[in-house]
Amino acid sequence: MYFQHDGAPSHYTRHVREYLNESFPNRWLGRGGPVAWAPKSPDLTSLDYYLWGHMKTLVYETKVASRAVLHDRIFAAVEHIRNHPDNAASATRSLLMPAENCLATGGGHFEQLL
């Protein structure tokens, strides 16, 4: 398994990179990682196009009253997603159009085509 790192400044600390090097030796993609990832490459991941949105819908369905409630809802949402096999199919389907748009633009910027 490879880990795709987003390179966000808060995720680029020495501590995070050390953790990734220990957990995914020579198997993580991202800024400063062992596998180069072009800084302007389109994010073509099912996490971006389906799972994060679905998870946020589950977590924030109603107002969050406290940090403890937020924690519990996040874990419940993960379990919900994990235990419903149709989520994997939806995640895969959600990636088809962005992948086609990326190919149509020769790997260029394509958000305006969504």
What is the token pair recorded at 101? Answer: 């748009």
User: Are 65 and 107 members of one domain?
Assistant: yes
Q: What is the pTM of this model?
A: 0.51
Structural domain range at position 35: 1-41
Judgement on whether residues 53 and 32 belong to the same structural domain of the protein: no
Number of neighbouring beta carbons within 10 Å of residue 98: 20
The DSSP code sequence of 41-92 is -----HIIIIIHHHHHHHHTSS---SHHHHHHHHHHHHHHHHT-THHHHHHH
- Pair 35, 84 in one domain: no
49 CB burial (10 A radius; 0-12, 13-18, 19+): buried
The yes-or-no verdict on residue 88 having pLDDT over 60 is yes
Question: Are 3 and 18 members of one domain?
Answer: yes
Q: Are residues 29 and 52 in the same domain?
A: no
Q: Are residues 64 and 104 in the same domain?
A: yes
**Domain match, 75 and 108 both:** yes
- Compute the average pLDDT of residues 21-35: 86
Residues 5 and 23 in one domain: yes
How far apart CA 110 and CA 99 sit, in angstroms, is 10
pLDDT at 95 over 70: yes
Based on the fold, state whether residues 55 and 89 are members of the same structural domain. yes
What is the tally of structural domains in the chain?
A: 2
Residues 76 and 93 in one domain: yes
Residue 114 pLDDT greater than 60, yes or no: no
